[in-house]
Amino acid sequence: MVESLYALLASIGFSHPLHPMMTHVPMGMIIGMVTFSFIGLIWKNSNLGQTAYHCSVLAFLSIIPVIGTGLLDWLHRLEGEWNELIIAKMILGTVLTILLAVTLVQKKKGATSTKLFILYLLCLACAGGLGYSGGELVYG
């Protein structure tokens, strides 16, 4: 099934991996939620905290297609071969998904802006690790 999808895409001239183009939404939203949360803490502006929360919602929703396309590319390009970088990406992807879910729950429970900022920073650390391991996987 995976090969059929990539064959179909190749037949219309698209031969690139799917995962890299999908990563920009959650990664950008994670950077946005940290930035807006930080500025909101400094300026004591709850609207910026709300914007950070909206970024976290979009990051959480967009992580599912990113993981899906990552698995498809892994099966297609690496034939499902396990290595340290793949294991790291799977662990970090799972941790990031859980952390994003925790941020949403904590916001609904009325967590402080400082607590949310720390959670957002943890998400950013996971995202950084994912980006680094992905770059190492592709570019060595």
Taking only the tens place, the pLDDT of each residue in 4-27 is 999 999 999 998 899 999 999 999
pLDDT at 46: 84
**What span, in angstroms and rounded, lies between the C-alpha atoms of 56 and 135?**
24
Mean of pLDDT values over 74-101: 95
Percent above pLDDT 70 for the chain: 100
Mean pLDDT of the chain: 95
Average pLDDT rounded to a whole number, residues 102-107: 98
Question: Structure tokens of 114?
Answer: 């400082």
Distance linking the first and last C-alpha atoms of the chain: 29
DSSP structural state of residue 13: T
How many C-beta neighbours within 10 Å does residue 90 have? 17
Per-residue model confidence as pLDDT tens digits over 117-131: 999 999 999 999 999
| pLDDT at 138 exceeding the cut of 90 | no
pLDDT at 98: 98
Q: What Å distances lie between residue 108 and 53, 103, 116, 133, 138, CA to CA?
A: 10, 9, 11, 32, 38
Residue 122 is predicted with a pLDDT of 98
- Asked if residue 114 has pLDDT above 90, the reply is yes
At residue 140, the pLDDT reads: 81
Residue-by-residue DSSP string for 35-57: HHHHHHHHHT-HHHHHHHHHHHH
